[in-house]
């Protein structure tokens, strides 16, 4: 079932006052405060993949107004599921199509453009199953990478042992 992000997320880019700074240090009057599981979108570079789900360790930090935050509607969307979707080149292409502006410096993804993107949104329990499966898949990929790296390290040692052993003579 495809839904727009608007139907499962709410914009929550609430501005918070920032600590006093010298006027030369920033032109922003307010910042956005991060919170765990927020979907954070760079309006400037989101279409290049500059978006993520905020981890707990960054909660409470502040970002410029160029970074918009969105809260999942708890009964409709899992931040972990959306996190899996938004880090894919497939999603970035959807975001790029929704982004407006001319030239890399003027392109912006506005919150309403982001929220109008249609995504496959299964029932919440199915989203959680998908996240579990993808998590296991990611673990297996990491193990596979470690094994492949270990095998690559063994090849030179094996060849050295074969070619330096007694009795080996070139051409015989």
What is the per-residue pLDDT across 74-111, written as a single tens digit (0 to 9) for each? 999 999 999 999 988 899 999 988 888 776 567 888 99
Pair of tokens at residue 75: 């009964």
What's the mean per-residue pLDDT of the chain?
83
**Residue with structure tokens 């407006």?**
100
Q: Provide the pLDDT for residue 17.
A: 39
Q: List, for residues 101-115, the tens digit of each pLDDT value.
A: 776 567 888 999 999
d(C-alpha 16, C-alpha 47), whole Å: 26
- Kindly state the DSSP code that residue 155 receives in the 8-state scheme: H
**Model confidence band, residue 16 (pLDDT cutoffs 50, 70, 90):** very low
Measured over the CA atoms of residue 50, residue 14, residue 73 and residue 9, the dihedral's sign is negative
**Model confidence band, residue 166 (pLDDT cutoffs 50, 70, 90):** low
Average pLDDT of 54-75?
Answer: 90
pTM for the whole structure: 0.71
Q: List, for residues 115-140, the tens digit of each pLDDT value.
A: 999 998 999 999 999 999 998 998 99
d(C-alpha 92, C-alpha 153), whole Å: 35
Q: Provide the pLDDT for residue 104.
A: 58
**Model confidence band, residue 29 (pLDDT cutoffs 50, 70, 90):** confident
Coil, helix or strand at residue 165? coil
């Amino acid at each position: 079932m495809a839904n727009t992000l608007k139907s499962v997320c709410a914009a929550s880019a609430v501005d918070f006052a920032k600590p006093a700074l010298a006027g030369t240090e920033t032109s922003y009057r307010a910042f956005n405060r991060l919170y765990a599981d927020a979907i954070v979108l760079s309006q400037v570079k989101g279409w290049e993949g500059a978006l993520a789900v905020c981890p707990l360790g960054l909660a409470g930090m502040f970002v410029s107004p160029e970074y918009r935050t969105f809260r999942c509607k708890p009964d409709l969307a899992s931040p972990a599921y959306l996190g899996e979707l938004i880090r894919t080149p497939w999603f970035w292409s959807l975001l790029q199509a929704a982004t407006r502006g001319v030239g890399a410096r003027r392109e912006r993804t506005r919150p309403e453009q982001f929220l109008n993107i249609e995504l496959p949104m299964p029932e919440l329990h199915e989203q959680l199953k998908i996240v579990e499966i993808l998590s296991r898949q990611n673990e297996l990929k990491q193990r596979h990478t470690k094994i492949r790296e270990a095998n690559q390290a063994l090849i030179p040692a094996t060849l050295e042992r074969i070619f330096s052993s007694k009795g080996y003579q070139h051409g015989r």
